[in-house]
Structure 1
């Protein structure tokens, strides 16, 4: 068991490389990964169930203890990234399906990978977890509303269908994880110890299947989508840090806000795009999954050396 836990931590610490490796493999051998596209929703649900297993009462107390800083993070998350996505789509005149995909990933809540990156960057991990948890729980209402508001200029958006999907793949699995944690107590520690391995497998499968399903479109428009993803993520990281500075937050919280804003739950974006739009609309989320883990890790190495 100790060997499995050690391997799980190793895979978790190198998850960006695994995502990149299998994304490239899926591009050149799409047939190997195409069947996985039908399992997007269950895979994302498994990731969210794992998040529920790791959430603690202290994480919710952080919202009560420092409500203003959590509120700043939530507002920055749901204003900066959706706004940037809409602006980039307009300025670059993106095709409808790609534009909707970019807006989708911009409107998603923060991703759990941001908590790990925040820890490595010597940011405020408790605040990071609180912001991720708050944006995730608000996502069933806020994410469909933002997508409907910003994306209807390109394609029809069904608020009710998106709301139901997010309840099914985010809120319900997290709630089940919390219940399992409460009922099983310390016995869930074994599962939590191998969660990094399970999460990486699920995320890699998500990304690889989307790349495989859209291989032809990526070959045609991949450079454009990748450029938009890099701009979106980079500007989000920078504006998140700036927002923290303008609000007078200490350095550790500025790092946290930067990472929380710039790193999205792109797995949710991919699942929503595939279910309600098209595989091409899921490509920005898939590429975002690859890129934001790499950029976040590089930025964390820089932030780690910064001191007040």
Structure 2
């Protein structure tokens, strides 16, 4: 278990982010300029509204401090590869989804450490572990930003190799994600059982609310239906592997998984159940 937490977890996240980078084109970054309005709607929904909804959820459900921090950490995470795949399945605007994931993932090195430090201190008070914003930013750079940059470079310089690598790397990332979720649940099984009802209800409520919030804001902003579907998914789907990794980095866990990782681990399962009806509805229209 210790080897999985200290080595396997960050390496797995790095592979997942490398998979994201290999699938990116230079056009995915230039699209921010050409499609500023839809991108701005999606970015505001992810960076501002998502954490606010998470804060309202943990307050409403009165979840324990460590679990509340886990909720907030999850809300700070960008969509990741999963949101891109779901946007494609929903027949949404995949290009917009990829652009949002790429840019927000890179920006997270600046936003997440600061917001994470605030959340830990706010909810845990005197029991809060000391969080180094600089140390967390460096760690995030090494396991998120750098792998994405390497993946983009591979795609740009060795396009043929990147196309061959993309499929197997995505499958490996999926397998690693499943293993991480199972290990996180197993490592905090009693805490998971004790808080399952309140945590499950809170996560499902949050997930459902975010999908609807993204949908409503995009419709109110006058975006196309394809863009609207994508904004809904990008707002409602988070990179739970990053949430689990952040929990381990913050608590400096050396044995087993941090309790702060539980919401992200449970969310890694419940998000598919919540998103599935939306996918069927999106595909039917």
Same-fold status (TM-score > 0.5): yes
- For structure 2, list consecutive stretches of 5 or more residues without a partner in the other structure: none
Which of the residues 158, 172, 192 maps onto 1:198? 172
> 5 Å matches for 1:283-302?
283-302=262-281
Instruction: Provide the rounded CA distance (Å) in 1 between the counterparts of 2:276 and 2:57.
Output: 24
Moved more, 290-299 or 93-102: 290-299
Are the counterparts in 1 of residues 17 and 144 from structure 2 also a CA contact under 8 Å?
yes
Does the alignment pair 1:281 with 2:255? no
Cα distance in structure 2, aligned partners of 1:87 and 1:59: 33
Task: Give the equivalent residue in structure 2 for 1:183.
Answer: 157
- Per the alignment, in what secondary structure is the counterpart of residue 122 of structure 2? coil
Query: Does the 8 A contact of 1:118 with 1:128 survive in 2?
Result: yes
Summarize the Cα distance change of 1:131–1:239 in structure 2 as closer, same or farther, 3 Å threshold. Answer: same
Superposition misfits of 4+ residues, deviation over 6 angstroms: none
Match of 1:212 among 186, 189, 198: 186
Counterpart of 2:82 in structure 1 is 113
- Partner SS state of residue 112, structure 1: helix
TM-score by structure 1 length?
Answer: 0.84
Instruction: Tell me the equivalent position of 1:57.
Output: 26
Q: Is the CA contact (8 Å cut-off) linking 2:215 and 2:228 kept in structure 1?
A: yes
1:88 to 47, 57, 70: 57
Q: How does 1:128-147 map to 2 (within 5 A)?
A: 128-147=97-116
In the alignment, the residues of structure 1 paired with residue 179 and residue 109 of structure 2 have an alpha-carbon distance, to the nearest angstrom, of: 24
The answer for the alignment partner of 1:174 in structure 2 is: 148
Query: Does the aligned pair in 1 maintain the 2:19–2:170 contact within 8 Å?
Result: no
Match of 1:246 among 205, 220, 226: 220
Q: Distance in 2 between matches of 1:158 and 1:89?
A: 24
Would you say the 8 A contact 1:266–1:286 is kept in 2? Answer: yes
Q: For the structure 1 residues 151 and 91, does the alpha-carbon distance in structure 2 shift closer, same or farther, using more than 3 Å as the test? A: farther
Correspondences of 1:63-74 after superposition (within 5 Å) = 63-74=32-43
Q: Which runs of 5+ in 1 are unaligned?
A: 1-32
- Distance apart, 1:36 and its partner CA: 2.8
**Contact in 2 for aligned 1:35/1:209 (Cα 8 Å):** no
- Give the aligned length: 274
1:37 aligns with 2:16: no
Alpha-carbon RMSD across the aligned residues, in angstroms, is: 1.6
Contact 1:50–1:195 (CA under 8 A) maintained in structure 2? yes
2: CA distance between counterparts of 1:203 and 1:154? 27
* Alpha-carbon distance in 1 for matches of 2:192, 2:119: 24
SS at match of 2:158: helix
Range moving further from structure 2, 49-58 or 141-150:
141-150
TM-score norm. by structure 2 comes to: 0.91
Partner of 1:227: 201
Counterparts of 2:273 and 2:263, CA distance in 1? 15
